[in-house]
Amino acid sequence: MALKERHLDRWVKAYRRAWESNDPEHIAALWTEDAAFYRRPDEDPVLGREAIVNAWLEVADAPGETLFEYQVLGFGDGVGFVRGWTTYQTDPPGEYSNLWVIRLDKDGRAHEFTEWWMEKP
């Protein structure tokens, strides 16, 4: 199957569903067994689907705590670039700009994901 931008869009929507649910099955469905998740580009990655699920749940946001919008900036040869805007509806509130680089396998699951997030002043 040739991957298209719609596969990336589908993955981002599934990521958001997992973000809102914190359901381990939703989280696990995003990743290949041997995936690498770079939660910050300057940190060592979390390696493997099971470790990613566990790391995700350690810092999970509460359902309904965030608003998220995104724009696919580009996609080709299995690599996608996404810009996101996250608003935390917490006390105090917070706003973040996000840049994601996502490498999908032929089945549309991430085998590498790197995120940059910057808090708005």
Q: Angle at CA 58, nearest 5°, toward 81 and 20?
A: 55
Handedness of CA 48, 54, 55, 61 (dihedral sign): positive
Instruction: Report the share of the chain in percent with pLDDT over 90.
Output: 88
Residue 96 has pLDDT above 80, yes or no: yes
Domain boundaries, the chain: 5-119
Residue 1 has pLDDT above 80, yes or no: no
| pLDDT one-digit tens code per residue, 44-58 | 999 999 999 999 999
Domain 5-119: top CATH class? alpha beta
Q: How far apart are CA 27 and CA 50, in angstroms?
A: 10
Residue 24 has pLDDT above 80, yes or no: yes
Mean pLDDT of 9-17: 97
Q: Determine which of 13-17, 50-54, 116-120 has the lowest per-residue pLDDT on average.
A: 116-120
Mean pLDDT of 90-109: 94
